[in-house]
Amino acid sequence: MLKVMLLLHVIGAVGMGFYIVLPIMLGRASKLAGMGQSGLAEGLLPANRIAQYFLVLQLLTGGYLMSQNDYAVIWMIIVTLLFLGIAALGGIVTKPLKKIVEAIQNGQSTDAHIKKARALSLIVLVLYIVVIYFMKYPIYEIA
């Protein structure tokens, strides 16, 4: 069972890799024409949703894996809070992406929405990198 959960956990981590490329893709959005921006945002919305499903997989399998070892309580709290931060900001970034599509349809400027989405995605990227660090170097309970 442990090996299956570890495999699912690694698959979830790879699926969350979307958050590595999201800021790069949003950085390019301001260089696109109106319909290109709309198409990019419409493509990023389902990709973000899929990444959120992978995040749920991470939380479930990570919870099981944490129960199988003697990790320090502070490590478990930090990791859980980091994942919840990624989940919250990953969900919040959906609104500016929808606003980009809406602004294009109404003939309005998308700059503010792109900047907001990019800022949120950069924060998610930083949190994701910190999670990777904590996964690579876990803190164990001192016996």
Domain residue ranges of the chain, discontinuous segments joined by +: 2-136
Q: Which of 41, 50, 21, 24 is nearest to 96 (CA)?
A: 41
pLDDT computed for residue 3 by the predictor = 94
pLDDT, one tens digit per residue, over 61-108 is: 999 999 998 999 999 999 999 999 999 999 999 999 999 999 988 989
Q: Is the predicted pLDDT of residue 142 greater than 80, yes or no?
A: no
pLDDT, one tens digit per residue, over 31-66 is: 888 788 889 999 999 999 999 999 999 999 999 999
Evaluated on CA atoms 107, 113, 118, 121, the torsion sign reads: negative
Q: Is the predicted pLDDT of residue 30 greater than 90, yes or no?
A: no
pLDDT computed for residue 143 by the predictor = 64
